[in-house]
Amino acid sequence: MRISALVVAVLLMVDVGALALGYETAPRVARPDPIRLVDGLPVGVVDTPVGAIAAAENYLASEDDALLSRDEIRRVVDTAWAPDERDVELAQPFPAAALAGRPATFPGLELSAAVAGAKLESYTPQSAQVLVWHEITLWSASVVPTQRWSLDAVTLVWDGGRWLIASRTAAPDSETPVPAWTSGTPEDSTSQAFDSRLAGMSAPYYRGVTP
């Protein structure tokens, strides 16, 4: 009986050890990065629900981030939008202002752009719709730091191995969530505070890595 008990104990130890080793050595499943950088701009390249969300987030963040530059806004729209819809998007108020050079009329104008959240509304292998909540913050020596929040329904189409924006519709201001300042003093909201405390920083968005 003692020998049998010892054998059982050894076998149990072997089984447990093998199980633990299996967990430790099991290969991780590699998941493709949904975003590829093309000439420094994010491109959605995975036709899945997760890939559609990543594409919508990155495309809007890229476009928001380009609103101070005539050349950059055109480059982003040419990359992210379906060819037939590019002129329509460039005619919208914010892109049109960038093309007209209006940001240059405010010396030292700074912009920070970020995506706060996103939700998949619908998906097929050919198209998807994603709701994206995003914001831009503008400030300069003559412009008080100002946030603009948007809630956009972004329609994507899958074409040529990548996602493209076919359209986007912004919710009315009355239906767009806008956070309020919850801390700090009036001095913390000045352009001088933004310049001194955010110097050298950039607003990250959900760019992938170049494969």
- Indicate if the pLDDT at residue 118 is higher than 70: yes
Report the share of the chain in percent with pLDDT over 90.
Answer: 64
Helical H runs in 66-190? Answer: 70-80, 86-90, 93-99
What is the tens place of the pLDDT at every residue in 67-80? 999 999 999 999 99
Radius of gyration of the chain (CA): 24
> Domain residues of the chain, as ranges?
30-197
- What CATH number belongs to 30-197? 3.10.450.50
57: buried, middle or exposed (CB in 10 Å: 19+, 13-18, 0-12)? Answer: buried
